[in-house]
Structure 1
Amino acid sequence: MMCADDHLSCFLVMGIIRHIFEDRHQVVAVVGGSVAEYTAFETYTDYGIFDCDQHIYEPVDCYTGWIEKKYADRTLRIVQRDGEELFMAQDRQIQLDNKVDECYRPGSLKEMLKSMKAGADQGGYQWMTMDPAFLDRDLRLAQMDRQHVDAAVLFSGSMGLFAEHFLTDDDVYWASSWAYLRWMEEVWGFGAEGRIFTSPTISMRDVTKACEQLDWLFARGCKAISICPGPAYGRSPGDPHFDPFWARIEEAGAVVCYHINEAMPGYKASRSGMWGQEEDPTFYTQSAWQWAWAYGDQPAMETFSALIYDNVFGRFPNLRILSAEHGAEWVPGLLTKMDKMRGMGRNGRWIGGQLAERPSTTFKRNFRVVPYWEDDLTSVLEATGTDVVIGGSDFPHSEGLAFPTQLVDHLGMLSHEQQRFVMRDNAMQLFGLV
């Protein structure tokens, strides 16, 4: 799960740590009388993996420390007021129940659900003090060594996901976006060493400005970029209007990542309003209907089908798409529906021209999907084969796995060779490392 109070594992209050202590091997969080251990060195494979869904956390000055002075009091920022820390975007206060020096313990949601299933009294997610390795590139590389992670795609953990939605002033937005990119380059880099592939978010609100950012990123070795799912400011992202954008990505050989996030601005509000739903709920006050039809895999499926139906891959056949943290159980149904509706819509408008092949064929070749550990992967694999499924842990978020290699425990239907392909080799091919 993610938020716009978004995938802010460190920004959502659901549990209380009573004691935290560290020793050489582990961090132990004592929550409501129960003890849960985070052992940072446990591994489940005999090979190093390529994890396609990990996260960083940002310091509070990741915008203000790198932005032009005239925008510093309008960008995303933390301000102190009456002894409180307030999260601000332009003149708007964003409600966050957090302390920026703490985060949820990796994998604690899974353990909470297991405890609840067993009838244990579990108060909520488990907190821990922020691990320095979640904030520092060199420490993270050392942590990856201990965890048997050879390489990883690192997505923003919090503030890097907000700008698209909360900064409505275009000048403030683009200044803030550039500030974040400069921060990311200095602190994390973009993957030139072949291990940490950060995936900065690029907006499609202005194709010329977006292309300028792509040129800057690719000149610095960036191998992955992220885009919010959903329509692109009144257009399909597959509209030929965006061809200069897609052309640059294909030429650079970069991977396009769609990580779970709030869809493009206005998506949830317009859809919710038509159904009598609250138009701008916080993450945890979304209705069940909004969880099902205005968030998560729903905008992702609409986006992926638009890219295919609008023939983006006919014009740019080497584009590669990575879907992260949308799960994978939706894939078989989407493949069937896309193929069927291609026939139903044969007399309709085709923005990029008629397709030369079945949509499902395009999807299987150009898309890779990170499943949830709890997904029914047998049915997914029956529909797609192993080529589409790619490993990711969501580390260090609470919703993911405590140990990145642990996903292999949920791949028992596969041979050892197939497991290795999902956990490592598929991503190595995706990023051109083999």
Structure 2
Amino acid sequence: MSSRVLPYPLFDADNHLYETEESLTRHLPERYRGAISYVQVNGRTKIAVRGQISEYIPNPTFEVVARPGAMEDYFRNGNPDGKSRREIFGKPIRSVPAFREPAPRLKLMDELGIDRTLMFPTLASLVEERMRDDPELIHAVVHSLNQWLDEVWSFNYQDRIFTVPVISLPIVEKAIEELDWCVERGARAILVRPAPVPGFRGPRSFAMPEFDPFWERVVEHGVLVTMHSSDSGYSRYTSDWEGGGSEMLPFQTNTFRMIGEWRPVQDAVASWVCHGALFRHPELKIAVIENGSSWVAPLLETLADVYKKAPEGFAGDPVEAVKRSIHVSPFWEEDLGELADLIGDDKVLFGSDYPHPEGLAEPTSYVDALKGMNQERQAKIMGGNLARLLSL
């Protein structure tokens, strides 16, 4: 636990809960009950979606998990010894109540020095991709999960834990209905996958005009749109180069996939301007979470070049539109000062990814990456910016 006390409040943009087995199914309508099940494979519990076992999350019960911050040394120093992911994760721990319930989580937040946080589900990241050919099922499962989140965590727990519901967009009317339902129950932020939207006629961008009624409602509600790292389906494209199955496996090193690891979020942000949504809805507030920031400068450079060559293809300057609406939560090991200079202090958000192994064991240590900044700039990044985005 961290004993560090900082001179400003911390509002963490990236905390996670671990779902229980019934999170996706407790409220699922009877006709969809067989879509998700838990099965035993060689003594281990696995999740099966429509009869297909997924390894995307190897332990979907989360009874045993990697310890928080297990990969800090890996991100700080690399992997000179060529250890496997299992070796890097180290000895697992059993989930504690603070990973499962809001009341004990508040106590843990006090010990960690976190005043407020966005709380993201973990299991939700595999749902949409594995049901992409059945939009109605996607909406049913997403609503079932959101009902469970509201019931167990609530979307606003004591004005300190702001659990983020999932919104999927295949059927626009259902997406608006889901958005209204969540906001009525206190949601201040929503989670939209950084990926093409599956649909009855195939996938398409969430930034196409057909989704304008949804984004208009988002602006009307004033909620923050988050795009958190998820299974965006890009493993299907890398498999075209390598053959074999398309599912990303967590314990297998795949250098080719690592090369394009941030391509999904880069494409998602590019889509916001190339397909016009940020020009048609300039009031949108968007936060890119747990996708790092290494993609930002190359994307802005490319957008500037394309705009110079084809300005008629945009409704305005795409670089300025991104800088106006997009907020980024960078990884602690990146150059945060360089990012802040590029997009502005007001657009950078602290996120610890606690308690995931890729995150920080002591979230307050994130401030070490800001040591070259004055206290005013630090205060914005460590909480002030997110409080403003959520109108708190």
TM-score by length of 2: 0.89
Greater share of helix: 2
Q: Quick one: distance in 1 between partners of 2:386 and 2:254?
A: 35
Deviation by residue 1:57-93 (Cα, 9 ceiling, x = unmatched)? 0001112222223322222x32346754232111112
- Would the aligned equivalents of 1:192 and 1:221 in 2 still touch at CA under 8 Å? no
What does residue 124 of structure 2 align with?
Answer: 160
For these two proteins, the number of residue pairs brought into alignment is 381
Deviation at 1:345, TM superposition (A): 2.2
Deviation by residue 1:106-135 (Cα, 9 ceiling, x = unmatched)? 111114566877989993313111121010
With over 3 angstroms needed to count, the CA separation of the structure-2 counterparts of 1:191 and 1:327, relative to structure 1, is: same
- Would the aligned equivalents of 1:320 and 1:430 in 2 still touch at CA under 8 Å? yes
Deviation by residue 1:375-394 (Cα, 9 ceiling, x = unmatched)? 12233233223122111100
What does residue 74 of structure 1 align with?
Answer: 35
Q: Quick one: distance in 1 between partners of 2:302 and 2:77?
A: 38
Q: Show the 5 A alignment for 1:80-229.
A: 80=40, 83-95=43-55, 97-98=58-59, 100-111=62-73, 123-126=87-90, 127-157=92-122, 159-167=123-131, 168-191=133-156, 193-229=158-194
Greater share of strand: 1
Deviation at 1:367, TM superposition (A): 1.1
Structure 1 counterpart of 2:207, from 238, 241, 252: 238
What does residue 330 of structure 1 align with?
Answer: 295
- Would the aligned equivalents of 1:332 and 1:384 in 2 still touch at CA under 8 Å? no
What does residue 230 of structure 2 align with?
Answer: 261
What does residue 36 of structure 1 align with?
Answer: none
- Would the aligned equivalents of 2:273 and 2:321 in 1 still touch at CA under 8 Å? yes
Q: Quick one: distance in 2 between partners of 1:215 and 1:273?
A: 38
Q: Percent identity?
A: 29
Deviation at 1:240, TM superposition (A): 0.6
Q: Quick one: distance in 2 between partners of 1:380 and 1:277?
A: 37
Q: Quick one: distance in 2 between partners of 1:403 and 1:91?
A: 39
Q: Show the 5 A alignment for 1:35-50.
A: 39=1, 41-50=2-11
Structure 1 counterpart of 2:266, from 294, 298, 301: 301
- Would the aligned equivalents of 1:161 and 1:261 in 2 still touch at CA under 8 Å? yes
Deviation by residue 1:284-330 (Cα, 9 ceiling, x = unmatched)? 4463222222x4x2111111111122332222121011001111122
The amino acid that maps onto 1:240 is: P
Say what the alpha-carbon RMSD is for the aligned residues. 2.5
Q: Quick one: distance in 2 between partners of 1:317 and 1:428?
A: 20
Q: Does 1:247 align with 2:220?
A: no
Q: Quick one: distance in 2 between partners of 1:334 and 1:173?
A: 31
Q: Quick one: distance in 2 between partners of 1:82 and 1:108?
A: 26
Structure 2, unmatched stretches of 5+, are: none
- Would the aligned equivalents of 2:72 and 2:360 in 1 still touch at CA under 8 Å? yes
What does residue 341 of structure 1 align with?
Answer: 306
- Would the aligned equivalents of 2:10 and 2:382 in 1 still touch at CA under 8 Å? yes
With over 3 angstroms needed to count, the CA separation of the structure-2 counterparts of 1:281 and 1:183, relative to structure 1, is: closer
TM-score by length of 1: 0.81
Q: Quick one: distance in 2 between partners of 1:174 and 1:46?
A: 43
Q: Quick one: distance in 1 between partners of 2:324 and 2:58?
A: 42
Q: Does 1:416 align with 2:375?
A: yes
The amino acid that maps onto 2:19 is: E
With over 3 angstroms needed to count, the CA separation of the structure-2 counterparts of 1:125 and 1:415, relative to structure 1, is: same
Deviation by residue 1:257-280 (Cα, 9 ceiling, x = unmatched)? 1111121x4x431x3355355450
What does residue 347 of structure 2 align with?
Answer: 388
Q: Does 1:407 align with 2:366?
A: yes
Structure 1, unmatched stretches of 5+, are: 1-38
Q: Secondary structure at the match of 1:368?
A: strand
